[in-house]
Structure 1
C-alpha cells in the first residue's frame, strides 16, 4: 500500500479522494493554486503545496510543478481525480519515469481511449457494439457524403480528439453536411489542436447509458452496473441515476458482461466507464473514460463498494477486492450536480457563500468542498457539490430527493437547486420517460 498520495485536483473530488486515503491510513498531500489556499481539502490534508497562480495551465495543469510537489513531499502516488490531468497520457508516463504511481490506467490505454477513432476501433475489436459510421477520420466532403449515404441521414460529425460537445455537429440532410463538416473541423482544431473528425449515424431519441468497470491490469475485470446520464444540457450531464429506469435485469447483465470481458481482454487497470447511446433495445458505444466519473457516487450507493478505495488498492498492486459474483445491486440512487450557475441561463455565479446548509437523514449524501464564508473563484468549473440520494426503490428515492432538495440551502450566489426542485416534480422525470434531448427541450419551453 502507498505511504503518501498527492491529490492532483481541487474541489469536491479532491476532498473525496482525501477522505478515502485517510480511511486507508495513507498520508495525503494537497496541491492548490493561490486562489484555492482556503479550500477544504487543503485545510484537511496532512501537507499542502502551492503550485501556481489561479489559471489552470499555470497550476493544476502544470505537470512540472506537480511532479516537483511529489518530490518535495515524498509522495509515492498521485490520484488525478477527474478533469485536469486525469486522462493525460503524458502525465502518467512522466510519473512512471519518476517512480511515482499514477492511480489510473497505463499511458497507453489512456492514449487509445483518448482518440475517439482508435477507441471505436478498439471497442469493435473487443466485441463492444458500436454506432454505424466511418472506420476512421473522414478525409474530405466527398468521403463524408459517401459514408452518410451508406448509413443514412441524419448523421453526426465528431472531433476525434474531442469531448464536451465541442467539434460536434449534426447534418439532417446532404445539404447540411458541407457546413457541418467545416464547422466541426474548425471547432475541433481550435479546441483540441487537431481538426480530425469522424462521422456516425445520429440516433433520434437515445438515452445515455454508461457502465462502470474495473480492471486489475492482469486479465481480470468486473462491472458494477450502469448509470443513466440522459438528462443533459449541451452534452453536459446534470442528473444521473443508477440503475437506469429504462433497462431490465437481462439487458443490464448483457451489456455489463460485454464491458467486463472487454476490459479484462484489454488488460486494463483501474476504474473506467464505457459510455453508450441506447435506443430500441440496442447499445452503441460512444467512448470510454479512463478515470473516475463525477457520478461514481450513485454506483457506490447501490453496490456499497468504495470506488476510490478500489482504485488505490488496484494501483498499489493489491488487485480487485471483489469478483463479479460478489457484486449485488441494492435499491436506486440519483445524483444532482449542484452548480454555481443561474438555474435558467446557466451563467456562472462566482462569489461568497453566505450560508450553506446540507440536508441529512437516511440515504442522503452530499459531496462538497464548500462552506459558509467560502468564496467561489471564477477560474474553474462551476460544480460546487453533489447531492446523492438512495432509496429502496425509485419511488422512495424520488420522494427522498424531493425532501432533501427542500432542505438544501446555499445563499449568496445563484445555484441550480431551483432547477432540480422543478425536475423532481415533473411527470416525465417521475416516470423515467426522458432521453438525451429532453432537458434542452424542457428548458426551451420555459424561455
Structure 2
C-alpha cells in the first residue's frame, strides 16, 4: 500500500525558474512557461551583403544559453547571418510547433523525434541525405532519422537515460554498490531512509518525465519491444496482463512512496533545483541535466545508474541511450541553404565539436568527434561506460503512436495522484494505445 504523501509548499527554487536554462543577456527574454525567444543581432554584416535570418526552434532548454553563444560565434564568421533562437519546455514544444506551422510561422530549423516523429513531420522536412556530415553519423543514430531511405534529421548528441544519483549521499547511507535488481533497490531506499536522506526527487507535475522517461523503462525491457508494440496494435498483446508493466509499477510505487515531496508538485525546474541542493539522492533524467546541475552546485558527486524493475540483473543492469531528437530543416524555408550551412558548421567544425562536447556536454553522434571525459561530465561518462560493457537498451518512445507519450504521462499522473489504481491505469494505457495506434 502506498503511503500518503504530504502536499508540499512550492519550493523557493521555483523563483529561479530558468536557472541555467535561459539567457541573462539583454537580447533574451523569458516568461513563466519556460519559453525563451532570443534574437542574436549581427552588427558585422557588410553593406554589400543581404542579412538573412535563421529561425531555430529548440525543445531543450538546458542548452539555451550555450546555443546563444554558439550563434554568436557562428555569426562572427558569417557576417550576413542573423539567428533567432526560441527555446520551449519539452511539455509545451509539440503543440507549439504544430501551432507555428498552422499559423504560417514555421521555423527554419526545428527539433523532431525520430521514427514516428519523423513520419509525422516528413512532408515538411528537407531531404538532408546529401549533406557532408551524413557519412560521419554513428550508424546507430541513422535509422530513427531515415524515411524511405533518406536522411531527414541531424543528431546533436547521444543521450543516456536512467536514475541520476548522488554518490556522497549513497556513501553517507552506507550503500557501497549500485543496485542492479529491484530487491537491491528496495534495500538501498531503506538505507537512505534510515540515514535520514530522502531517496527520490520525483517529478510528475508535467507529462514529459512520466510519459517519455518513466514509461520507457517498461517498453524497453520487453523481450522484443518492437514486437510488443506491434502486438498491442494487432490485439495480440496488452498492458493489463503484461508482467513487465506490472513489475514496473512496483518501481513507480517505490519511488513515489519515498519521494522528498509530493511528486505532483515537482516540475522540471523544481526537480533540477531540489536535486542539485541535495534534497534527495536519486532522480530520473538524462545526462543532459549535467550542465544545469553544475551551474547550481558544481561540487555534486554524481553517477548514472539503472532502473531495476525486477530481479533479473542481466535485464536491468543497463541504461537506455540513443538520439532522442534530431534537427530538421523546413523544406519550404527561404533560407534552407543557409540553414544547411549552419548545421554543417555545427557538425564538422572544431567550434561545433567544442560546443557539442564541452558546452552541451553531449556524447557526440559523429565518428569524427571525440569527447574528453573530464569535459562531458560524469553522467555522460557513465552512459558511455555502460554502453561499452553491455548493449544499451533503446529510447522506445519515438516508436509510439504520434502524441501518445504525453497521454501516457497524464494517465500516470492520475495514478500518482491516487485518482486511479493499477488495474485502471493499465486499462487506460490500453485504451489510449487503441485509440491512437493508427495515427
Normalising TM by the smaller chain, what interval? Answer: under 0.3
TM-score using structure 1 length: 0.27
Which TM-score applies when normalising by structure 2?
A: 0.28
**Relative contact order (C-alpha < 8 Å, sep 6+): which is higher?**
2
- Higher helix content, 1 or 2: 2
